Copies of this chain bind each other. A is one copy, B any other.
Amino acid sequence: MKTGIDCLLNPDSVAVFGVSEQEGKAGNSVVKHLLDGSVRFYGINPKGGTLFGNTIYRNVYELPEVPDLAVIALPAELAPEVTRACAKRGIGAVIVIAGGFGEVGEVGQKLELELKKAIAGTRTRILGPNTLGVLIPRLKLDTIFLPSSHLRRPKEGNIAIISQSGSGVMGALDIGAFYGVGISAFVGLGNRVDINENELIEYFADDPHTSAIGMYLESFVDAQSFVDVCRKVSPHKPLVLVKAGRSSAGAKAVALHTGSLAGSDRVTGGVLSQLGVFRAYDDEELLDTVRVLAHAKPLTGRRVASLSGGGGTGVIIADYVEAKDKGIAASLATLDPSTEARLAKVAVPYASVHNPIDLTPAASRDMFDSALEILQDDPGVDVIIFGLMYHTEKRDDYFTERLCYWGKQGKKPLIVAAIGSETTMHAIRSMEAAGVLVLPSFWRAVKAVDVLAQRTEFIRRVNSLRHVDSVPNSLTTEPVFVPIPGTPLAEDEIKAVLRERGISTPESILLPGGKLPAEIPLAFPLVVKIRSADVFHKTEMKGVELNIPDLETLEKTVAQMNLRFPGQDLLVERMEPSGVEIIVGLIEDGTFGLSIMCGIGGILAELYQDVTFRRVPINQLDADSMLRDLKACALFEGFRGINANREAVIDLLLKVSSFGQDLRGHIDQMDLNPIIVHEDKAVVVDAKLIWRVGTKA
């Protein structure tokens, strides 16, 4: 028997409730679209009769068969009852189009509850309410009530689009359709009373018609499941997400640095990177990215050959490829001398055969054809961007045909950048139809290279992960010091816990009540700090004295501290020699749960906000990629003779992640700041921890 999702996305028959003769009504346009389709159609209306020559049934029981799918094109208040009838009749899936549910307040929320009750204990699944429904061009299944005069329907293709909002992706689909972009499916999630994004990702992961999945979400129904399903799917099928609402996702309470640097969107970015899910910021970028991933050949490197028939075109492409300020990690390929010689032989005399290659507007189609052939053989070229200029009469259908040939048959990925009106649009449609990747701006074409390169990098990472222990546990022996969640921990207590996990901290002694012992078993220079589980900003309240050179100064300092903070315990610690300062933290994110942060420390770093996040637990490759995320990552690669041990930082991140994992659910925020990274080790100089409110003391 078909599953509910199968009934929704691959139905043999569909019934529509609320069919109508009245133009402009949902029950009218949906019928028209479905009558055009290849799925058996039944119209239902209590009045019966016929519509467009089809028998109209009075209710679900009159239908000659149990349809796989029902579309309810009725007002919100009627939907629960009809859904109940569908469930009773054993229909696999129901689409509730109407708005006026959870999004409008209490009355609507009640209706949503009724919808859920209507299918409880049955096989029936609900898509929506408040949804455009589904569009499967392959089956000509189209439940979208918007007129195709206003919203063009994409043709059949190999990308699936899942969207929580109609308006969030409609514009891109509409103009995409105009350019001939195809889709395997569009599914509008609406209010998600039942079917959600995670099930759909799993469905499309197995769908042979789908090569890549694009999503627009304003929230996750279940972030844990989303993480699980993405982790499973993304190595096999590319995923792209617009996570909208990032500006309104309030930042975390800023008690600690980790909190102030988090902001839910930074964590989201880190987690998506960890999962190999691509990020887009609007509908246009979503469609671009998912198409790039679905269409282009995999990239082996980032060396771009630019080929065009106009100098300016090539220069703009070259500028974007090389300009590091635009965030593109690519470079212009250095062509082999033999490539240049061969190009010169086929080109007009004043063509430029250096990359960016400019064959000039005078170039014939055969010259371009030859150039594309020649570039296939250059081992220094990873990808070709073709800057299409369709503005001379030389660029005809045969020219397009040859481009399509090389796009399909060539060994190297080909990305076409084409900008222009009707003639260009005609060429774009031909290339789309041939499955050639074509983007309507230079910038979007260059971004495509970056997307493909990132995908290659992710797959490489996934493959190498198979040879790496997944998540190490840093606790090998029974811990001496077991933190009790909820009990405030002083700095030395946190450090004791960290040391048990193999994390370095400076040697220290505790001075209870601020009393100096007869002997100080620590080498100078030293540091004196007040010791409290409640004081987080020691420095600001003058509770820290650094660089104490000798016993005399130490005694003076301790005396001053005792005056300033009478009876307060003090901590005396060896002053850590200077090195590269970093910050590592843990934070309970509102969406993704416990997450780990790594960033460059110090005051400048705070200004540049050079930090990155991942979800706990992380593995070694996650830790490695965190370091590579940092703009100042060169600090760990011998920049200006600095010796900061990269492996020590990775080791530390894994241990902190493991610590977080063990105490998951209890930690709200933890700051290890600063951590000083030396040639041989990373030492945690200060540590703060805040338990989650509500955690039992």
State whether A323 touches B424 (Cβ < 8 A): no
**70-100 of chain A: CB within 8 A of chain B:** 99-100
Chain B residue at smallest Cβ distance from A169: B312
In Å, the complex CA distance between A164 and B309 comes to 16
**Residues of chain B contacted by A610 (CB below 8 angstroms):** 608
Q: In this assembly, does A442 line the interface, its C-beta being within 8 Å of a C-beta of chain B? A: yes
Chain B residue numbers with a CB within 8 Å of A519 are none
Cα of A273 to Cα of B117 in the assembled complex, Å: 62
Smallest beta-carbon distance A448→chain B, Å = 15
* B-chain residues with CB within 8 Å of residue A323 when the two chains form the complex: 246-247, 265, 281
Chain B residues within 8 Å of A391, by CB = 146, 150-151, 170-171, 174
Distance, CA A349 to CA B100, complexed state (A)? 10
Provide the A176-189 mask, 1 if CB < 8 A to any CB of B, else 0. Answer: 01100000000000
| Contact (A174, B442) CB under 8 Å given A318-B248, A603-B642 | no
User: Shortest Cβ distance from A285 into chain B, in angstroms?
Assistant: 8
Query: Which residues of the other chain, B, contact A639 by a CB distance below 8 angstroms?
Result: 603, 607
Say yes or no: is A548 at the interface (Cβ < 8 Å to chain B): no
| Docked complex: A258-309 residues within 8 A CB-CB of B | 265, 281-285, 308-309
In the assembled complex, A594 has its CB within 8 A of some CB on chain B? no
Interface residue ranges of A420-465 to B (CB < 8 Å): 420-424, 440-443
Task: Please determine whether A166 and B312 come into contact, CB atoms closer than 8 angstroms.
Answer: yes
Residues of B within 8 A of A423 (CB): 149-150
Chain B residues whose C-beta falls within 8 Å of the C-beta of A149 in the assembled complex: 393, 422-423
Q: Is there an interface contact between B319 and A245, defined as CB atoms closer than 8 Å?
A: yes
Considering the chains assembled together, what is the distance between the CA atoms of A309 and B395 in angstroms? 41
Q: Which residue of B lies closest to A635 (CB)?
A: B607
Interface status of A139 (Cβ within 8 A of chain B): no
Given the contacts A170-B389, A315-B218, A640-B603, A175 and B420 also touching, CB distance less than 8 Å? yes
A311 contacts the other chain (CB 8 A): yes
A150/B604 contact (C-beta < 8 A), A174-B419, A312-B168, A361-B167 known: no
Instruction: Give the shortest distance, in Å, between A48 (CB) and chain B (any CB).
Output: 28
* CB <8 Å contact, B312 and A177: no
- Among residues 227 to 243 in chain A, which have CB atoms less than 8 Å away from a CB atom of chain B? 242
Which residues of the other chain, B, contact A321 by a CB distance below 8 angstroms? Answer: 247
Q: Is A52 an interface residue (CB 8 A)?
A: no
Q: 1/0 per residue A551-580: CB within 8 Å of B? A: 000000000000000000000000000000
Complex contacts, A103 vs chain B, CB 8 Å? 350
| Residue contact A168 to B419, C-beta cutoff 8 Å | no
- Once the chains bind, are A168 and B315 in contact (CB under 8 Å)? yes
- On whether the beta carbons of B608 and A392 are closer than 8 Å, the reply is no
Specify the chain B residue showing the minimal Cβ separation from A632: B607
Q: Cβ of A638: which chain B residues have Cβ within 8 Å of it?
A: none
User: B607 contacts A631, CB within 8 Å?
Assistant: yes
Is A484 at the interface (CB under 8 A from chain B)?
A: no
Report B-chain residues with C-beta under 8 Å of the C-beta of A216.
312
Interface string of A340-362 (1 = CB under 8 A from B): 00000000011000000000111
Q: Does A322 belong to the interface (CB within 8 Å)?
A: yes
A104 contacts across to B, CB distance below 8 A: 349-350
| CB-based contact B419/A167 at 8 Å | no
Question: A171-B420, A323-B247, A608-B610 known; A350 and B99 CB under 8 Å?
Answer: yes
Minimum distance in angstroms from A607 CB to a CB of chain B: 4
Bound state CA distance, A308 and B283, in angstroms? 15
Q: CA of A175 to CA of B419 in the docked complex: distance in angstroms?
A: 7
Closest to A395 in B: B150
Min C-beta distance of A263 to chain B, whole Å: 10
Report the nearest B residue to A284, measured CB to CB.
B441
In the complex, chain A residues 329-349 whose Cβ is within 8 Å of any chain B Cβ? 332, 349
Are B421 and A177 in contact, CB atoms less than 8 angstroms apart?
yes
Please state if A178 and B421 are interface contacts (CB–CB under 8 Å): yes
CB of A319 within 8 A of CB of B244, answer yes
Q: Could you tell me the distance between the alpha carbons of A320 and B640 in the complex, rounded to whole angstroms?
A: 37
Q: CB-CB < 8 A to A281: which residues of B? A: 316, 319-320, 323, 326, 443
B166 touches A361 (CB 8 A): yes
Residue A600 interfacial (CB < 8 Å):
yes
Q: Which residues of B contact A282 (CB under 8 A)?
A: 316, 320, 441-443
Contacts of A604 in B (CB 8 A): 600, 602, 604-605, 608, 632
Cα(A150)–Cα(B350), bound, Å: 24
**CB nearest neighbor in B for A245:** B315
Chain B's closest residue to A323 (CB) is: B247
A310 touches B (CB below 8 Å): yes
Nearest chain B CB to A585's CB is how many angstroms away?
A: 18
Q: How far is the CB of A396 from chain B (nearest CB, A)?
A: 10
Separation in Å of the A656 CB from the closest CB of chain B? 23
A-B contact pairs, 6 of them (CB 8 A): A166-B310, A168-B312, A171-B420, A282-B316, A284-B419, A600-B604
Beyond contacts A283-B316, A284-B441, A608-B631: 10 other A-B pairs, Cβ-Cβ < 8 A, are A105-B350, A150-B420, A170-B310, A171-B391, A242-B316, A246-B323, A281-B319, A285-B443, A606-B640, A608-B632
